[in-house]
Amino acid sequence: MGESMRVPRRKEDPIYGLQVKIKNDRRKNLLNLSIGVLVDERGELYQFSAVKKAEKRVYEGGGAKEYLPIDGLSSFCSKIQELVLGKDAEAYTAQTVGGTAALHIAGQFIRQFCTKKIFIPEPTWVNHRGSLEAAGLVVATYPYPVSKTGTLHVGAIVKAIRGMPNGSAIVFQASCHNPTGIDPTEQEWRTLLQEAGQRKLTILFDLAYQGLGKSLEEDARAIALSHKAGLEFFIASSCSKNFGLYGERVGALTVVCKGKKRAAVSSQIRHIIRTNYSSPPRHGAEIVSTILNTPSLRKEWESELSTLRALLASLRRKSGFIHSRGLFCMTTLGRRRVEQIRQQEAIYLADDGRINIAALSEKNIPRIRKLAP
The two beta strands, 202-207 and 169-173, are parallel
- Is the peptide bond prior to 179 cis by the omega test (within 30 degrees of 0)? yes
pLDDT digits (tens, 9 = 90+) for 299-313: 999 999 999 999 999
Can you tell me the distance from the alpha carbon of 370 to that of 373, in angstroms, rounded to the nearest whole number? 8
Cα 146 to Cα 324: distance, rounded to the nearest angstrom: 10
Encoded amino acid at 369, one letter: R
The confidence score (pLDDT) of residue 286 equals 97
Instruction: Give the pLDDT confidence score for residue 272 in this predicted structure.
Output: 98
**What's the whole-number average pLDDT of the chain?**
93
Between β-strands 31-32 and 117-122, what pairing exists: parallel, antiparallel or unpaired? unpaired
What is the SS3 assignment for the chain?
CCCCCCCCCCCCCCCHHHHHHHHHCCCCCCEECCCCCCECCCCCECCCHHHHHHHHHHHHCCCCCCCCCCCCCHHHHHHHHHHHHCCCCCEEEEEEEHHHHHHHHHHHHHHHHCCCEEEEEECCCCHHHHHHHHCCCEEEEEECCECCCCCECHHHHHHHHHCCCCCCEEEEECCCCCCCCCCCCHHHHHHHHHHHHHCCCEEEEEECCCCCCCCCCHHHHHHHHHHHCCCCEEEEEECHHHHCCHHHCEEEEEEECCCCHHHHHHHHHHHHHHHHCCCCCCHHHHHHHHHHCCHHHHHHHHHHHHHHHHHHHHHHHHHCCCCCCCCEEECCCCHHHHHHHHHHHCEECCCCCEEEHHHCCCCCHHHHHHHCC
Average pLDDT over residues 312-334: 89
Burial class (CB in 10 A: 0-12, 13-18, 19+), 189: buried
pTM of the model: 0.94
pLDDT tens per residue across span 241-299 = 999 999 999 999 999 998 889 999 999 999 999 999 999 999 999 999 999 999 999 99
| pLDDT over 90 (residue 35) | no
Domains of the chain: 16-47+317-371 (3.90.1150.10), 51-292 (3.40.640.10)
In contact, 253 and 269? CB cutoff 8 Å: yes
C-alpha to C-alpha distance for 126 and 146, rounded to whole angstroms: 18
Q: What is the pLDDT of residues 133-189, one digit of tens each?
A: 999 999 999 999 998 888 999 999 999 999 999 999 999 999 999 999 999 999 999
Q: Report the alpha-carbon distance of residue 99 to residue 101 in Å, rounded.
A: 6
Q: Which of 54-63, 79-88, 164-173, 269-278 has the lowest mean pLDDT?
A: 54-63
pLDDT at 39 over 90: no
Q: Report which of residues 133 and 323 the model is more confident about.
A: 133
Q: What average pLDDT score do residues 41-51 get?
A: 89
Using alpha carbons, select from 32, 21, 30, 121 the residue that is nearest to residue 357.
Answer: 32
Ranking 111-120, 126-135, 362-371 by mean pLDDT, the lowest is 362-371
Pairwise CA distance, residues 326 & 213, whole Å: 5
Least reliable range by pLDDT among 158-167, 221-230, 345-354, 362-371: 362-371
Q: Over pLDDT 90: what percentage of the chain?
A: 74
pLDDT at residue 2 in the model: 67
Give the model's pLDDT for residue 150.
86
**What percent of the chain shows pLDDT beyond 70?**
99
Question: From CA 244, how far away is CA 37, in angstroms rounded?
Answer: 8
Greatest mean pLDDT among 14-28, 62-76, 288-302, 307-321 lies in 288-302
Whole-number pLDDT of residue 184? 97
Active site residues: 125, 206, 241
CA dihedral (341, 315, 219, 16) in degrees, to 10, reads 30
Higher pLDDT, 351 or 299: 299
All residues at 6 or more sequence positions from 63 whose CB lies less than 8 Å from its CB, including other chains:
283
Let me know: does 154 contact 130? Beta carbons within 8 Å: no
